[in-house]
Amino acid sequence: MSKLYIVPTPIGNLEDITLRALRILEDVDLVLAEDTRKTGILLKKHSISNKTLSHHKFNEHMFVEQLSERILNGEVMALVSEAGTPGISDPGYLLIRECIRKQVEVECLPGPTAYVPALVASGLPCDRFVFEGFLPQKKGRQKRLNALKEENRTIILYESPHRVSKCLLQLSDTFGKDRPACLARELTKIHEEFIRGTLEEILLRLGEKQPKGECIILVGGK
């Protein structure tokens, strides 16, 4: 039966994978992987020896037609990203959209994605929130921040570690230093950490140090 499975994978702790995800990764004809080496480690840990094919942001445009056609013609594939849920600040959207256009069945398994544990444990309201992913790095960044200033739901941002302090400073300048916020770092890993407080307090806690590892910034709504 033709099908594209979207399979979430651990964001740190390799035990965070469902039994169904493991069964599907074993049963499909092909695993499309953003990072074949990392996916290889995960498969090996669970004694799965399936075929993988590289599918990342630099080749997804080129292969979307070919892969969706192969699925339409009967192959069953699983798409995994480097970590978390494919399509969430990761490649996947183009292939998913094309499969749906071709009326190929697409099924996304529930599973790890970094922003959910970050939001829930942040202590900020988690009943209504807006996921912004990565802000534009240069052009349009301040405009986006200005628009978010008026947002009254909790705001979730992905940010690379070497830009976290600068981003917190920009948020503080735009939203005001007293806005409640949280920095969630290295979730599910040994050095998991939550720094909670106002934007000013978090900046003071960080001092001169750039936080290490993967980070999510959460800011309380207006």
Which residues are near ligand SAM by CB under 6 A? 11-12, 81, 83-85, 88-90, 113-115, 158-160, 184-189, 214-216
* Minimum distance of ligand SAM from residue 71's CB (angstroms): 21
| Listed residue (151, 142, 153, 162) closest to 214, CA to CA | 162
Q: Closer to ligand SAM by CB, 30 or 187: give it.
A: 187
Burial tier of 1 (Cβ tally within 10 Å: 0-12, 13-18, 19+): exposed
Residue type, 121: A
* Minimum distance of ligand SAM from residue 127's CB (angstroms): 20
Q: What is the largest CA-CA distance in the chain?
A: 57
Q: Closer to ligand SAM by CB, 77 or 157: give it.
A: 157
Distance, CA of 108 to CA of 3 (rounded, Å): 11
Distance, CA of 98 to CA of 91 (rounded, Å): 13
Distance, CA of 160 to CA of 148 (rounded, Å): 19
Taking CB positions, which residue lies at the least distance from ligand SAM?
84
The two three-digit tokens of residue 69, written as one number = 């056609």
Q: Closer to ligand SAM by CB, 70 or 189: give it.
A: 189
Q: Closer to ligand SAM by CB, 24 or 80: give it.
A: 80
Distance, CA of 199 to CA of 177 (rounded, Å): 5
* Minimum distance of ligand SAM from residue 73's CB (angstroms): 28
* Minimum distance of ligand SAM from residue 74's CB (angstroms): 28
Q: Closer to ligand SAM by CB, 114 or 148: give it.
A: 114
* Minimum distance of ligand SAM from residue 89's CB (angstroms): 4
